[in-house]
Amino acid sequence: AQTVTQSQPEMSVQEAETVTLSCTYDTSESDYYLFWYKQPPSRQMILVIRQEAYKQQNATENRFSVNFQKAAKSFSLKISDSQLGDAAMYFCAYRSRNQGGKLIFGQGTELSVKP
């Protein structure tokens, strides 16, 4: 069974600085998807960025980028130029390409942004 681990329960960053959130996963599959979701205090889960395992190029979305290391089974999220609105719980998630659509989530990392 696949598992996702986020080893940082809490992280803090100064506004305008850069922060990296860590995620590792375990799977025996070679083809899958990885996601980072953001969950603000209002509880609505929002997709931040996604990565397809067969793509070597790291995904980027404006200030958000990932460092995908397939061999190490690592998928970290880098937030550049942090803004107050980035404060939220961030979840790393795995989805198999071949075994249905369910997302397997990590435990989450709560990010606070200091003005």
Partner 1 sequence: EAGVAQSPRYKIIEKRQSVAFWCNPISGHATLYWYQQILGQGPKLLIQFQNNGVVDDSQLPKDRFSAERLKGVDSTLKIQPAKLEDSAVYLCASSLVGARQETQYFGPGTRLLVL
Task: Provide the binding-site residues for partner 1, judged by CB under 8 A.
Answer: 4, 33, 37, 42-47, 50, 52, 91, 93, 95, 100-103, 105-108
Q: Which is nearer to partner 1, 82 or 91 (CB)?
A: 91
Residue 14 CB burial class (10 angstroms; 0-12, 13-18, ≥19) = exposed
Smallest gap from Cβ 106 to partner 1, in A, equals 5
In the chain, what's the furthest Cα-to-Cα distance?
Answer: 44
Question: What tokens appear for 27 in the block?
Answer: 């799977």
Question: What tokens appear for 11 in the block?
Answer: 């992280």
Q: Which is nearer to partner 1, 28 or 43 (CB)?
A: 43
Q: Which is nearer to partner 1, 14 or 50 (CB)?
A: 50
Smallest gap from Cβ 27 to partner 1, in A, equals 16
